[in-house]
Structure 1
Amino acid sequence: MENKRRRVPALAPEERREALIAATIPLLHEHGVDVSTRQIAQAAGVAEGTIFGVFETKSSLVVCSVIKGLDPQPTVDALAAIDPALPLRDRMAQAADLVHGRFAENAQLMTAARALIIGQRDGNTALQLADNRSRLHAAITGVIAADGAQLRRTPAAVASLLLLFCGANTYGPFGDPDNFSGEETASLLLDGLLIRRGTH
């Protein structure tokens, strides 16, 4: 009889830990914190008991997976790669597209993170998420900083507004991500909403 469970080779404890986290992240996107250890074991191709040989509880695995899944480094790297020679408007549009994409992709993970923080009073997760926000904010500030003299607010304040709008547009009850491209977001932040006669 064919064994339907995908078997994986024996791994060192740290490798097993990383493999379980990698298997759990997509399940958190789909199921949130209600994912079961059985689902995780099947996705990882291991026996369910293997999980508890590496993690003390399902909750500890979920916490580690949420933190890993929400690591902003790929977005931070992409923001750093934006061509600094581009006009400010174009740089901000690219930054807004990257942030919108990150928020949309991780919406379920953010919900899971909030559930962990509120339901389990997980201060460590709260601190990690605060650090993630700081890193993302610093990266966006870096995209804007060279043209700070053109702005009524500091580059850091403009970065906060960009994050605020992208977050509300992704998670808020009045959000409409499909109708707000990065270009539109940059225009809202730089030009406001008034039509100025004689300008484009």
Structure 2
Amino acid sequence: MSTHSVNLAHVSSRNVRATPLPPDERRAAIVAATVPLVRERGLSVSTRQIAAAAGVAEGTLFRAFPDKRTLVNAAVEAVLDPEPGLRRLAAIDRSAPLEDRLTEAVDLLHAGMESTWRLIVELRTVEGEEAMTKAVNKRRWEPVMAALAALFEPDRERLSVTPEQATRMLHTMLIASLHHFRPGAENEEPLTTRDIVEVVLYGVVGRQTRGGDRPDIRPDGGS
């Protein structure tokens, strides 16, 4: 390829304009492109890298956000936003066996918590401390806890505790499953979704060996 052709291709790529979007949609698209970069690079990510990932010019970034910190904060807020997770929790089939309901919920929440903590660890800054404060804020967790309690509710009569107590147990197990964020825990065998659900529903003895004094949580009483 000739030097002239290469130069034309370079000029052409520089002149490609982003598809026009309403301001709110443009900001949302930029934030979505920023999140994985912040997870990977923390605050060292450059606006040039963000612009390339978003498919826009750097100038477009600063028309949407006043500065890089504001954009990074918006990305953190997007990761911490509970609404997408709440919608997915609400969509879980309440007629499915409780074990299946909780398996789906734990998979969903575990992925979200992993994503959140990875971002916080990567930041390791004032922004990271602020994100940590927001992540553990009771008001952010209240609707999530309520959504989890609603998953237990159809089987209330089968439970030995209230749905709210069962939810707190499940939440504690979820936190414990984030093993690699605890010092010295990298050599521990990780807790799987099955581990978490089995312990919450059947205890550490297990449903196969606990004896016949308590009914199985599945509607058919089977394994």
Q: Does the TM-score normalized on the shorter chain lie above 0.5?
A: yes
- Rounded Cα–Cα distance in structure 2 between residues aligned with 1:92 and 1:11: 39
- Rounded Cα–Cα distance in structure 2 between residues aligned with 1:27 and 1:128: 23
Check if 1:193 corresponds to 2:204: yes
Letter in 2 for 1:82: I
Letter in 2 for 1:187: E
- Rounded Cα–Cα distance in structure 2 between residues aligned with 1:161 and 1:59: 37
Checking the alignment, whether the CA contact within 8 Å between 1:99 and 1:163 is kept in structure 2 is no
Checking the alignment, whether the CA contact within 8 Å between 2:177 and 2:190 is kept in structure 1 is no
Check if 1:19 corresponds to 2:2: no
- Rounded Cα–Cα distance in structure 1 between residues aligned with 2:36 and 2:77: 13
The change in CA–CA distance for 1:147 and 1:157 in structure 2 (over 3 A counts) is same
Structure ID, larger Rg: 2
CA offset at residue 40 of structure 1?
Answer: 0.8
User: Which has the higher mean CA deviation after the structures are superposed, 165-174 or 154-163?
Assistant: 165-174
Checking the alignment, whether the CA contact within 8 Å between 2:120 and 2:131 is kept in structure 1 is no
The change in CA–CA distance for 1:12 and 1:133 in structure 2 (over 3 A counts) is same
How many pairs were matched up? 197
Unaligned runs of 5+ in 2: 1-6, 213-222
Correspondence for 1:64: 74
Per-residue Cα deviation, 1:139-173 (whole angstroms, up to 9, x for no partner): 11111122233333321222122122112212543
Check if 1:36 corresponds to 2:46: yes
- Rounded Cα–Cα distance in structure 2 between residues aligned with 1:128 and 1:184: 24
RMSD: 3.2
Higher RCO (C-alpha under 8 Å, 6+ residues apart): 1
The change in CA–CA distance for 1:69 and 1:7 in structure 2 (over 3 A counts) is farther
Q: TM-score, normalized by length of structure 2?
A: 0.71
Unaligned runs of 5+ in 1: none
Q: TM-score, normalized by length of structure 1?
A: 0.78
Per-residue Cα deviation, 1:111-165 (whole angstroms, up to 9, x for no partner): 36774152xx579x72896443222222111111222333333212221221221
